[in-house]
């Protein structure tokens, strides 16, 4: 199972649209995971129309229309892997401990908000992933997104993809 993991797209505030590279990967993925800050519902509608499956949450910059359609926390079991998605996990200091406590029955937690890529493993084995942002790099050297594969309940081939300066 192929995953595209994105967050903090901020369309159309930070970019008019997702980069074409991200759309190509999204259309080939079995599941697209979006960890919030879509900003406007049009991107959600387009993603649902163009992609096989979308798992998403709302973020702090998402208004009532997105909040009516998306949860604050999404959970799914994908080929035996227990996935959770949230927008915000709080400060980096203590993140692994907080998240392991808040998501004890989860294998992988995807989050956004900071626009800073993150890949760590908490005590107990919880994997935490933040894909950064494909449209707003902030203080990062490049805009980014993640891809991964799931096979037999295990997350494999996690890869951070830089998109260059935007």
- Domain hosting 76: range is 2-164
Q: Identify the burial level of 82 via C-beta atoms within 10 angstroms of its C-beta, where 0-12 means exposed, 13-18 middle and 19 or more buried.
A: middle
> Which whole number is the average pLDDT over 35-47?
96
**164: pLDDT confidence band, cut at 50, 70 and 90?**
low
| Angle made by CA atoms 59, 119, 9, in degrees to the nearest 5 | 30
The pLDDT of 148-157, averaged and rounded, is 96
Q: Residues 99-111: what's their mean pLDDT?
A: 97
Cβ-based burial of 2 (10 A; exposed 0-12, middle 13-18, buried ≥19): middle
Query: Three-class SS of residue 123?
Result: coil
- Mean pLDDT across 77-96: 96
User: Which CATH number do you get for residue 23?
Assistant: 3.60.21.10
What pLDDT, on a 0 to 100 scale, did the predictor assign at position 98? 96
* 16-23 mean pLDDT: 94
Neighbouring residues of 102: CB distance < 8 A, sequence distance ≥ 6: none
What's the pLDDT at 166? 42
How many CB atoms lie under 10 A from the CB of residue 80? 12
Across 65-76, average pLDDT: 98
pLDDT at residue 8 greater than cutoff 80:
yes
User: How large a percentage of the chain has pLDDT more than 70?
Assistant: 98
pLDDT category at 13 given cuts 50, 70, 90 is: confident
Residue 165 pLDDT exceeds 60: no
Q: Which residues of 85-95 are buried (b: 16+ CB within 10 A; e: fewer)?
A: bbbebeeeeeb
Number of domains forming the structure of the chain: 1
**pLDDT tops 70 at residue 34:** yes
pLDDT of residue 16: 86
State the average pLDDT over residues 48-75.
98
Residue 41: pLDDT band (50, 70, 90) is: very high
> How far apart, in whole angstroms, are the C-alpha atoms of residue 26 and residue 94?
32
């Amino acid at each position: 199972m192929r995953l595209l993991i994105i967050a903090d797209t901020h369309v159309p505030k930070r970019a008019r649209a997702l980069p074409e590279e991200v759309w190509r990967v999204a259309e080939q993925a079995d599941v697209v995971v979006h960890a919030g800050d879509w900003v406007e519902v049009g991107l959600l509608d387009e993603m649902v129309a163009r992609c096989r499956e979308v798992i998403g949450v709302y973020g702090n910059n998402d208004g009532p229309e997105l909040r009516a359609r998306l949860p604050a926390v999404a959970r799914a079991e994908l080929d035996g892997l227990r996935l959770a998605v949230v927008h915000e996990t709080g400060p980096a200091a203590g993140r692994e401990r907080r998240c392991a406590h808040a998501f004890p029955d989860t294998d992988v937690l995807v989050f956004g908000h900071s626009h800073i890529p993150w890949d760590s493993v908490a005590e107990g084995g919880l994997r935490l992933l933040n894909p950064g942002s494909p449209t707003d790099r902030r203080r990062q050297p490049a805009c980014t997104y993640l891809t991964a594969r799931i096979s037999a309940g295990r997350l494999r081939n996690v890869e951070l993809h830089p998109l260059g300066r935007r």
